[in-house]
Amino acid sequence: SFGELRVPPDIWQAFTRYNVWVEPVLLAEWIRLIESYAGYRQPNVRQLAQTLLAWADPERDTRVAREAVARIRADGKPVYCVWSGQRLRGDYDVDHCFPFAAWPCGDAWNLMPASKTINNEKSNRLVTQAALEGASDCITDWWGNAFLADNENARKQFFLEAGQTLPLLIERPEPSDIIDAMKVHRIRLAKDQGLRPWAPGQTISLADMISQAIYQPND
């Protein structure tokens, strides 16, 4: 073990909020430091360090959710749009509850089956607190059928991912605890990134339509 490092809450929050600027500065300074240590012995150290420390863009991967939908349907069970409660027949979309364009997270808990109409309507907007609360039963039912029912490995992976990316306060959370953590994280995203709110059936303004066109593909 390397021991513990304690960071004051205010500094931690600032790092979290401004990480897109802090990280490049730290990497650039780290490369400069390595270059100064290497001196003339390794003239290509800057290029090598930049290659090794290059930012890898996260991939938009929804396979785990689509495979779960296929399993559920193969068992003869229905799959519902979590936002409308409508049964999904045939084609559907996988929505990132928190928009991937703003917060690139492909964890299982963030992937929701949705109708194409609803997903296009929601696009890169942030679900409102009321809409998240209203859909909580549908969301937890989806999690139960898709990830928590039979496969113990999938269940462990689900809660491990949630514990790493959400502000969970207990070691052994239930699905309802994850919903509560999502509500907290939703507030953070709304405050830090100023995302436009969305709720099912909400009218889309002209500005929203233009923004959706800019940020395609949809979630």
Residue 32 confidence (pLDDT) above 50: yes
Predicted confidence (pLDDT) per residue in 55-69, tens digit: 666 678 999 999 999
Mean pLDDT confidence for 108-128: 96
111-114 vs 93-96, strand pairing mode: antiparallel
Mean pLDDT confidence for 74-98: 96
State residue 51's pLDDT score. Answer: 75
Q: Is the pTM of this model over 0.85?
A: no
What residues pair up with 80 in beta bridges, in sequence order?
Answer: 87
State residue 214's pLDDT score. Answer: 42
State residue 209's pLDDT score. Answer: 44
Single-letter amino acid code for the residue at 91: D
pLDDT-based confidence at residue 210 (cuts at 50, 70, 90): very low
Torsion sign (Cα): 104, 106, 112, 116: positive
**What residues have CB less than 8 Å from 118, skipping those under 6 apart?**
81, 83, 84, 86, 93, 95, 200
How many whole angstroms separate alpha carbon 125 and alpha carbon 110?
14
